[in-house]
Amino acid sequence: MEGDRKVELSEALALGPGWRHACHALLYAPDPRKLFGRIPMRFAVLMQMRFDGRLGFPGGFVDAQDSCLEDGLNRELREELGDAMSAFRVERSDYRSSHIAARQRVVAHFYAKRLTLEQLQAVEARAPQAKDHGLEVLGLVRVPLYILRDGGGGLPAFLENSFIGAAREQLLEALQELELLDPGTIAKLKVPDSK
């Protein structure tokens, strides 16, 4: 999209008062199970179906009430995912990247946090009781990390969905950089260059 680009955190923080900051997080956990007893799930990676029908990560705008980016992020995570989020905090050390959406004057910061499978399952179990469930958030989904024998099923089909903002790029970067995919899947993905 015209005017959308990645920026360093220092540049993002120097943007000035005309800009709104948002923070979103990828929560993931190792999942040792196998689909159909044969296809390793590898990791459980959470995204959400948003009110606008697009997929994105949980999180949202940092408000005046929030004393830092991460306070805003953790407040939004509790609003959207519920009280299982009180068991841990997403911190600056979990920060990964910032994307500018110039037209909206929004800078979206992205975080990724590794949980235990038990923690992640608790988030999923409690999410229907969250304040924004059924409103801003229509449901959580796990991202399929494999490619089925037909060549398109699994992650390639998932990536055909409609994503909000930079969420698709954030997902693909995190999957590669955190080594959540196996090398064979990366090779078959043919990820297009982002510019």
Q: What is the chain's alpha carbon radius of gyration, rounded to the nearest angstrom?
A: 17
Considering only residues 49 to 68 of the shown chain, the ones binding Mn ion according to CB under 5 A are: 60-61
Shortest distance, CB of residue 47 to Mn ion, whole angstroms? 12
Residue nearest to Mn ion (CB): 60
Considering only residues 32 to 91 of the shown chain, the ones binding ligand GTP according to CB under 6 A are: 56-57, 59-61, 76
Shortest distance, CB of residue 136 to ligand GTP, whole angstroms? 5
Question: Is the separation of the CB atoms in 91 and 70 below 8 Å?
Answer: yes
- Which range binds ligand GTP by CB under 6 A, 29-37, 116-124, 159-167, 183-191? 159-167
Shortest distance, CB of residue 172 to Mn ion, whole angstroms? 20
Hey, how many other C-beta atoms are within 10 angstroms of the C-beta on 187?
A: 9
For the record, the structure tokens of 177 come out as 């950089």
Question: Is the separation of the CB atoms in 93 and 111 below 8 Å?
Answer: no
- List the single partner that 108 binds among Mn ion, ligand GTP, none, CB under 5 to 8 Å by kind: ligand GTP
Nearest to 93 by CA among 75, 124, 64, 114: 114
